[in-house]
Amino acid sequence: MQMTDRLFKVFNVNVYGIREALIRAGYPMATVVNEDMTLDKRTVEDMLRLGSNLGHSPIGHGDDKFLRQIPVTFDVLAPRYFWQQFDTYGVFTSKNSQSTMHRGKALDYRRMADAAVDDKILALFEGIVEDYTLNPTEENLLRVKANMPEGICLAAGISTNYAQLRTMYYQRKTHRLPQWRWFCEEFISSLPYAKELGVCD
């Protein structure tokens, strides 16, 4: 998935355990629980009514907690200003990202800059990186870190779940940044059964 005309991508998407989470969502009302889930012959579609009722419960009510048991992993290539906001969702989200500390001299910043980065600022920054490459002192490292444009795009691998994506969707779907609107409407809403389970509208 990619935003049109912007260096912003979501890729390597995997969703796990929807059927198992729906079976477990029924545990509070169950009198008997199968120790072997393969004995339960219901499909996801058979359990969508339960999932929809619980998933569409008011945010914070607690009935949608089965959504936490649907793990999602994916990679995102996004500008630094997006990552600053994304990192507010750290409770149920794990991130492993490219490092400007370890690879600051080796990165191709011109290729990594989104369209909003001014060429003059980028050229000035590339000069700072060159100074650091020629003289890798702590002072020059700090100059690289302190002057890196916010529009430099970095990739990160994300592990989260449907409940956290639901929170992101309802908090960010009308956000001023186009990256967030795309992330909500094109990525989150495209996930399997996201609409049926109340993750998005």
Q: Residue 79 carries which side chain, given as an amino acid letter?
A: P
> What pLDDT does residue 13 have?
98
Number of Cβ atoms within 10 Å of the Cβ of 187: 21
d(CA 57, CA 122): 47
End-to-end CA distance of the chain: 20
**Model-wide pTM > 0.85:** yes
Taking residue 69's Cβ as centre, other Cβ atoms within 10 Å add up to 18
- pLDDT value at residue 63: 85
Q: What is the pLDDT of residue 32?
A: 87
The token duo for 40 is 């339960």
User: Which residue in 69, 73, 92 sits closest to 17, CA to CA?
Assistant: 69
Q: Where are the alpha helices (DSSP H) in the chain?
A: 18-25, 48-55, 80-86, 100-103, 109-112, 119-134, 138-147, 162-172, 178-182
Give burial (CB, 10 Å; 0-12/13-18/19+) of 62: exposed
pLDDT per residue of the chain (201 residues) written in tens, 0 to 9 = 555 446 899 999 999 999 999 999 999 988 889 899 999 999 999 999 999 999 998 877 788 999 999 999 999 999 999 999 999 997 778 888 877 766 667 788 999 999 999 999 999 999 999 999 999 999 999 999 999 999 999 999 999 999 999 999 999 999 999 999 999 999 999 999 999 999 998
pLDDT of residue 71: 97
Residue 180 in 3-state DSSP?
A: helix
- Pair 167, 180: CB distance under 8 Å: no
